[in-house]
Structures are given as C-alpha cells and as structure tokens.
Structure 1
Amino acid sequence: MKAWQRDLAWIVLAVLVWEILGRWQLVAQGALPAPSAIAARWWLDRSDYPPHIAATALSASLGFLAGSAAAIAAGILFALSPLASRLARGVNIAIFALPPIAVVPILVLCLDGIAPRVVLAALGCYFPVMTATVLGLTQIDPRALDLVRAYGGGAGAVLRLIRARSALPVILSGLKVAAPNAVLGAILAEFGGGGRYGLGAYLIGSLGRADPARLWGIGLSATAMAGLAYALLAVLARRATGQARAVTIAATASPGEAAGPADPLLRLLVLAGAAILPFLIWAGLVDGFHLPALIAKSPAALADYLITGPNAASVQARLLAALGETMPTVLLGLLAGLACAFLLALAGEAAPTLSRLLLPTALVTQTMPLVALTPLLVLLLGRGTAVTIAITVSVTFFPAYVAIAQGLALVPRAALDLPRAYGASWWRQVRIVSIPAALPHLFAAARLGAPRALLGVMIAEWLATGRGLGNLLNQARGRLDYGMIWAVALVSVLISVALYQLVVAGERVTLRRFGGR
C-alpha cells in the first residue's frame, strides 16, 4: 500500500470513530457532534458563510502581507546589525506578548473599519517571521562566507548569494506559522470588533443558540482557511528546502544571540535603551493619535494608577494574587507544549506517516477559535488546571513543532552517514547528530513558545477557569477599568520578556557548551 493510501485509510478510520462518538454522544455530553451532523448543519447554513469567510480572509490576508513584510525587513536589519537587534528586543517581545483580548477594545476605539482586524493579524505574524528571518540569515556555514569574500564579494554579495539563499527555507517555515496566526488574529479581533461580517462575528452571534454543530462548522471553516494557507506555504518551503539545503553542518557552532558589547558601560546603555524604547513608542502612539486619557493610558498615567494613585495598594494586591495563580500554570503549559512538539517532530523523523496524520490535529488546535473549542475541553477536563494546560499546549504546540521539525529536516543526510556506517541506532544518530545540529531551531521554538504560553493561560482563565490574570482582565473589561486592562497588559509583557531572556540565557550556555566540543 502506498503512503498516501495508508494516510487516507487512517483518516477514514479516525472520521468513523469520531462519527460513532458524536452520534451516541459518548464524549462531553454532545459538545462533540458527529461529522455528519456538522456537515448537515454547515450545508443548511451554506448561504451564511461566503460573506463571513470573505471578510475574515480579507483581514487575515492584509494582515499577513503587512506583518510578514515588516518582519522580513526587520529581520534583515537585525541580522546585519546586532546593535539594532539588541535595542529592539524589548519592542519585538512586547509586540508578540501583547494579549489580543486586552488590545482589541483599544484598537476598535482607535481605528476604523477592518483596520483593527488587520493590525491584530499583522501582530500575530510579525514575531515568528522576524525570528525565522534572523535565524535563517545568521545560521550559515562560515566557510561559505570565506569563499565569497575570497573572491572579492562584499556584504551585499554575501547577503544575496549566501544568507538569502540559506535563509529562504527557514523564512518560509516562519511564514507557515504566521499564516494560521493571521487567521486567528483576525477572528479574535472580530470577537470584539462589532463588525457585521467575519467568522468571529458569526461565531459570537451563534453562541447563544446552543448548537454545537454550528460552532464546530464555523471553527472548522476557519481551520480549513488556515490549513489552505499553510499547505501552499508548505509546498513552497519543501521546494525551496530541496534547492537550498546544505550538504555539511557548519564548522562552528552557532553562537545564538549575541552577548552584547564587551564594554560593560556600553552594554548597560544598550540594555537601558532596549528597556526604554518600548515606553517611548507607547507614549508616542498615545500622543500621536490623540487618544482620550480615559481609554489610553500613557506610561506616566499607568505608573500613577499602579504606584502613586489612591487605590494603588489594592491594585497591586489584586495583580500579585492573580499572578500567583497564573505563573505556575504558564511554566507547566510551556514545558508540556515544547515536549509535545519535540516528541512529534522526532516521531516525524522516525515515522513520517505518523507526523502527517497528527499534523492536521495540530493545525486544528492552532486555528480552531477557542470560544468553540473551550466548551468541549471544559466538559472533558473540568474547569481546573488541566483545561488551562490543555489550552496552553494548543496555542504553543504548533509553532514550536514547525520550528523543531524544520530544524531536524535541515540536518544534512550526509552528516548521518558516519554514525550509520558504524552501526549506530536511529536514536543514537538523532542524539549525537540531529539534535545538536538543530539546537538553534529548538531554542527558537522555546522563544516562540514562552510568550504564547502566557497568552494561552490567560485565554483559558478568561474563558473557562475564572482565575488569574485572564479573569482579572475579564473583570476589568466588564467594569470599563481601562487602568487595570493596561496594567495586566504591561505585566504580561514583562513576564514574557523575563521568560524570553531565560530562554536566551539557556541558549547561550548550551550552544557555548556544544561549540566547545
């Protein structure tokens, strides 16, 4: 039996099992409807979908193009200028770590039309594409650079002939992650955007009808949209990888992110600039758009709310209590998501059929609107820590898996010939060659997953558990307490920055250790 026939047989079997579970309501008391019921409901609602799909596709496409273009341009700048990379590090992480559920109301009040949806979709694309661009442009064999320079090639020739070609597969890998992010960002903006059309608006309008089949139909429509974009980019990535693949592992280990200037004073100035720059941009946006002080809090106004205001003590106590509930789950969810991604990537190396079968499930967890998926998870797992970890894994697993799988796929087959010639087992080949060679991609996955883990926990707390920072944010939205909304957003960004820096420190130590062997 051919590979595609085996895959098709497994898919048919999975659909049949799903049909049985849904038909007899054996899972979650009917919250998981049978595929036939979902298809029948979708067919009855078929006239509703075209305008909603078109609206979401337009917002997601514009956001994907804008966010990816900005990310690639920024990635080139950061790869060529380590100083610019270090100065912009705080801004980059802040963009990625801003919780969409906090910024949607502000975007809707500040922007018109579909602009809030486009902006949120673009923000979802920026960080993974920028990270992939920097990784692809910097993780190259230095011997190829020496060859170009020996023939008189300058920085432009190196960028065009070596860096760009080497980076293309990795950039396309980042674009694969960004495509579902754009769809998810547009839908999240539609939840609170007040627009008439869009899958998010359609989903919100359908929540009160107690019709799980319709909710799953909407969610699977969003998944199909994201899956199509992912598949197109995957085809491009596969072709580009086949044409740009290295034949050897770099002679020196990657140094990861640069450690910074040698001069302690200059290093301190750079760190201070990276910390101050996001606040300067924040204040400039508030002043530049002439936003009302009641809604948009400047850094000074938020400092007064948190530190010197009459209710500062109460605000701090609430934030600390919520933070104590959120952080342990963030760490558990992050580790679980990375572990699942790593194990599936290894399984894909050992058994490609298994990877192909599980990848659609991973894509569903990435793009299925959590408003539709959460009721099922709550009925299955309750409203405790388990459901929070499950939702966190669902939003961290997919980008981490793509990054790790890409790193393992780019390991040259020739590099495995030596241990194979000596009779090494598959696991030993992976352990001594594939994993060390793919370490930059493993840490890139961790950097992508750290901010998303916090976001996943907050979404779970907002939709399901009624605890932690997510619940505090939800309460602030209901009370129109914009000060608390901005405070939660700021705290979430600071936590994400701290997690990111921990990953960077671990990357630096680990790569230095492997580089010394």
Structure 2
Amino acid sequence: MAADRGSGWRGLRVAILILALWEVAGRFDLVAGGALPSVGEILVRLWQDRADYPLHVWATLYASAAGFVLGNLAGVAAGVVFALSTTALRIFRGVNIAIFALPPIAIAPILVLTLPGMAPRVALAALGVYFVTMTATVVGISQADSRAADLVRAYGGSRRDVLRLVEFRGALPVILAGLRIAAPNAVLGAILAEFGGGGRWGLGTYLLGSLGRGEPDRLWGIGVIATLIAGLSYAAFALLSRRFLGSARAVTLNTAVPAAQPDRGPLARRIVMSLATVALPFFLWWVFIKATGVPDLIAKTPAAVVDYLFFSPAAGAAQERLWAAMAQTLPITFLGMVAGLSFAFILAILSRLAPRAIEAFMPVALVTQTMPLVALTPLLVLILGRGTSLTLWVTISVTFFPAFVTLAQGIALVPRSAEELPRVYGASRWTEMRMVTIPASLPYLFAATRLTVPRALLGVMIAEWLATGRGLGNLLNQSRGYLDYAMIWTVAAVSVGLAVLFYQAVVMVERRVLGRLGMTTAE
C-alpha cells in the first residue's frame, strides 16, 4: 500500500513538472513558433468557448456510450458462445480477425453512406469495443478453475450452472480489464465517425470545423476535452475493477484472436470449415448491404468491388490509383510499426532495469493511450508540419503503449529462479536480460507485434487523411469528395485485407519460430 502511495506521489510530481515546462514553453513560443500554447492559454480559450462544448460533448458521449453498451453486450454474448463451442469459434475466426484488424477510418465513410443519423457513430464505437470484450470473455472463461467446475458437477450442477457459478465469475476480472480498455476505444470510434458523418454536433465535427482557423489554443482545448472523456472512462472501469475485485483484477489484456483447438476431423470437414471461415466475412458484408436497403449506386457488394477493380472500363485507372496509394502507405506503415515496437521494447527492458524512470514516464504514456487519435493528429500537425515525421510520430504514439504493456507483462512473468541462475555465475544484469529474460518473453513480443500491425496502419491512414495528403487515407478522403462510391468501398476492403494479411503473416512467423524453440504462443 505504501509503495502504491509513493508511486502515486511520484507520478503527481512528474505531472506537475511537465505542466510547468509546458507553461514556460508556451508562454515564450519555444515550440514551432507558438504551435504549442501554454496551459494557461488553453484554459482561457476553453473558458471562452464554454458555450460551444455542451452539445458537442453530449453528442460524442451519447454515441460512445450507446456503442459501448451494444458492443459489450455483443462481445460478452459472442465470447460465451465461442468459449463453449470451438466449432463456432473456428467458423467466426475470419470475422473476428477482420474486426480486430480493420482500420476504423476505412469503414467510417461506409457506415455514413449506409446508416442514418447517429447510427454510424454508434456502430463504429460498438465495433471498437466488441473484439476487446469478446476476447476477454473467451480467455476468462477458458481459464476458469476446473476444480470448482468439477465440484459443481459433482453436486448435480448443469452446464449452465458451471457457466454461471464458476466460469463467468472467474472471467470477471479479465472482462473488467477488457471494459477498461474498451471505453477509450468507444470514444475514438464515435469521434472518427463524426469526422465523416456530416452531423452538426460532436467533438469530431467541432475539431474538423476548427482545423482551418489557425487557432492552436482552440485545437488543444478540444483535444484536452476529448482526452479527458476517454481518460475518465478508462479510470472509471479501473476504479470499478479495484472496488469489486481488489487484488484479483487483471493486469493486462490478451491481444490475440482466441485460438480454437485444431480440427482433427475428416479432411472433407476441415476443408468445409476452412471455406466457411473465409467466406463468412464476405457473406456478412453482402447481408449488411441487403439489410440496409441502400441503392446499388452507393452500397457495393463484394462482387461489385471485384467488378470495379478488375472488369469495369475504369478498372485500369482504379488499379493505378490504388497501387500508387499503397506504395505511399505501406513503407511508412512498416517503418512506424518497427519504430513503435522498438520504443516499446526499450521501455519494457527499462521497466525491469530502471523501474522508477518508467514510473515517471507513465503519465505521458497514459495520455497518448487515452487521447483519441483524431484529436492528437491536428495538434502534431501544428508542431511537426505535414511531412513524413508527422506520420511517424502519430504511428509511434498509437502503437508503443499497448505493445509496451504486453512486453512488460511478458518480462514480469519470467520466473525469478530462471533469472537468478546467471547471476550466481557472475553475469551482469544486462547479460541476464539478454540470455534469459528476453528469450523467455519472446511469445509476448509476437503478441505485441500482432497488436501493433493494425494500429500502425490506422495511425498512418489518419495522418494521411488529416494532414499529409498522401496514401490510402488521402485516396479515401478524395473519393468521398468525388462521390466515387466504388473506390470508397474498394479502399475500405483493401485496407482491412492488408491488415488481416499482415496479422496472419505475423501469426505464421510466430508459430514457426516458437515451434522450433519448443515454446507456446501468448494466446
């Protein structure tokens, strides 16, 4: 308890020091000629704009809260089904990977085209939380105490009793950890949908309308409010977890798509299951189009996208534009992913070698984790301009923290006895890390990579959309302006496909490397 209190005071002192340095830098225009206003100037502008915020904040809160509730209900229900039925988990694996990997910015225009009113915001917020909660539910139920389940069965309990009394209760700490991470995701999803939704109210709408006014203090004020909403939602579920679970709460969250047991059935059955896994996402896409009743001119089925890209008179020009955009997006995505992972890896190592330094850095890291990406990007534009450095910074900022948490978790789980053996033979702390700790935490490095891949693509596309005027993000934005609906659907499909492809590539490398080393994955 005393250690927690000391850590809290250190964090508070660091936060005060950062705010003081920020105030000095802003007052004297030390950063990019005034692009970073002082804390006082931001607060004054927030007070001056106070009449603007209530309706904008309410719209964002309504959409994110509704999406949070709906997405979590779907996530928990799906998690229970997947935990009880490996067949269902295997069939829906393709859908789950697609939801995990999809860049929200790619489908935001799709939802705006096909859904009315606030529905696009709610839907994107729900998609942002579904996977996190579903995975937490599957992992929590799968790791329930089998001895307690056997006891319930011995006293005549049914399968439902085991689920209710043992498995779901045992999963509660992990589910609450999932809700804690899902809450800021819901806010990000709502704001992303507001950017392209054409509505009057919402923080995303307010931010978009303020971009061209040359008022850094207003942009920073909007970013602060968005960050406060996301941060408070994160803190609320962290407090709820502490209140009801105490020390039993989960430390971190599994970042992988839950793995079903290998199918040992007949070859024909395995082929049918594999085809169903691949076909189901496209079938649900087709069902969504038909269910919304949107005209064919606007809504494009998978077959329509294939026809546009390969067989229509405009196929050549469409392919040329798409390849040019991908050539701009993919290299910077790979570079940003490597940079974000490297930064996370260094921080994770330092969390063991210099824990107090990392504790001092954590307030800054938490801000980058909770600040909605669309609010962060315009602020970085003011400081860094619109070049490659901006895209890299955005990508690193959204990838390093989740990867760091995962890597730090893996390092913390290395048995102390294994670490002490090299020291007995006179090895230095770094030698012990290099020979024992880092190799032992290799599964978590792959887990962090799986998590980083889609986030890196999301960060790059948002930077391209809002600032750089390049790549897939800019092509998506241009297509909206030209009412080129076929290209909008094509970019969305290609973006999701690329993210899924990268994810699967990491999984294949992971299985090959860890299989040779005789290690299991962090799933």
Q: TM-score with structure 1 length normalisation?
A: 0.86
Taking a change above 3 Å as real, the CA distance of residues 121 and 267 of structure 1, as seen in their structure-2 partners, is: same
| Residue 35 of structure 2: aligned partner | 31
Contact 2:219/2:379 (<8 A) preserved: no
| Counterpart pick for 2:76 among 72, 77, 101 | 72
Q: CA deviation at 1:276?
A: 0.8
Does the C-alpha gap of structure 1 residues 166 and 501 become closer, same or farther in structure 2, counting only changes over 3 Å? farther
Write the distance in 2 (CA, Å) between the matches of 1:156 and 1:442: 37
Is 2:75–2:134's contact at 8 Å kept on the other side of the alignment?
A: yes
Answer yes or no: is the 8 Å Cα contact 1:63–1:120 preserved in 2: yes
- Stretches of structure 2 that go unaligned for 5 or more consecutive residues are none
Are 2:484 and 1:481 aligned?
yes
Q: Secondary structure at the match of 1:127?
A: helix
Would the aligned equivalents of 2:56 and 2:203 in 1 still touch at CA under 8 Å? yes
1:205 aligns with 2:206: no
Task: Determine if contact 1:207/1:215 at 8 Å carries over to the other structure.
Answer: yes
Residues 267 and 453 of structure 1: is their aligned pair in 2 closer, same or farther, counting only changes over 3 Å? farther
Matches within 5 A, 1:485-496: 485-496=488-499
1:336 equivalenced with 2:351 (yes/no): no
Contact 1:183/1:367 (CA < 8 Å) preserved in 2? no
Report if aligned partners of 2:105, 2:461 keep a CA contact under 8 Å in 1. no
User: Shift of the alpha carbon at 1:488?
Assistant: 0.7
Of the three residues 98, 114, 126, the one matched with 1:122 is: 126
The answer as to 2:248 corresponding to 1:243 is: yes
CA contact (8 A) 1:256 1:511 kept: no
Q: Where does residue 11 of structure 1 map in the other structure?
A: 15
CA contact (8 A) 1:137 1:164 kept: yes
C-alpha deviation, 1:352, in angstroms: 5.2
Instruction: Give the Cα separation in 1 of the matches to 2:319 and 2:257.
Output: 40
2:189 matched to 1:185? yes
Which of 103, 115, 137 is the aligned partner of 2:107? 103
Q: Work out whether residues 177 and 402 of structure 1, in 8 Å CA contact, stay in contact via their aligned partners in 2.
A: no
Question: In 1, are the aligned partners of 2:15 and 2:363 still within 8 Å (CA)?
Answer: no
Post-superposition shift, 1:494? Answer: 1.1
**Farther-moved stretch of structure 1 (97-106 vs 173-182):** 97-106
Q: How does 1:202-351 map to 2 (within 5 A)?
A: 202-238=206-242, 240=245, 242-243=247-248, 257-258=259-260, 260-262=262-264, 263-348=266-351
| Cα deviation code 1:33-80 (max 9, x no counterpart) | 111110111112223222222221121111111112211222222233
Alignment of structure 1 residues 386-397 onto 2, 5 Å? 386-397=389-400
Task: Please tell me the residue identity of whatever aligns with 1:14.
Answer: I
SS in 1 for 2:33: helix
Using the alignment, how far apart are the partners of 2:279 and 2:322 within structure 1?
Answer: 23
* 1:288/1:314 CA distance change after superposition, 3 Å: same
**CA displacement at 1:427 relative to structure 2:** 6.2
**Root-mean-square deviation over aligned CA pairs:** 3.3
Distance of aligned partners of 1:129 and 1:307 in 2 relative to their CA distance in 1, 3 Å threshold: same
Would you say the 8 A contact 1:404–1:442 is kept in 2?
A: yes
Between the aligned partners of 1:516 and 1:14, the Cα distance in structure 2 is 42
Code of the residue aligned with 2:20 in structure 1: it is L
Q: Which moved more, 1:283-292 or 1:318-327?
A: 318-327
8 Å contact from structure 2 (residues 111, 120) kept in 1: yes
Does 210-219 or 103-112 show the bigger shift? 103-112
Alignment of 1:88-167 (within 5 A): 88-138=92-142, 144-145=145-146, 148-149=149-150, 152=153, 156=160, 159-160=163-164, 163-167=167-171
Cα offset, 1:241, TM superposition: 6.6
Instruction: Provide the C-alpha distance between the structure 2 equivalents of 1:133 and 1:407, rounded to a whole number of angstroms.
Output: 21
Taking the TM superposition and a 5 Å limit, the aligned residue runs for 1:420-435 are 420=420
Q: Which range moved further: 34-43 or 154-163?
A: 154-163
Is the alpha carbon distance of 1:380 and 1:284 closer, same or farther for their aligned partners in structure 2, counting shifts above 3 Å?
same
Q: Unaligned regions of 5+ residues in structure 1, if any?
A: 247-253
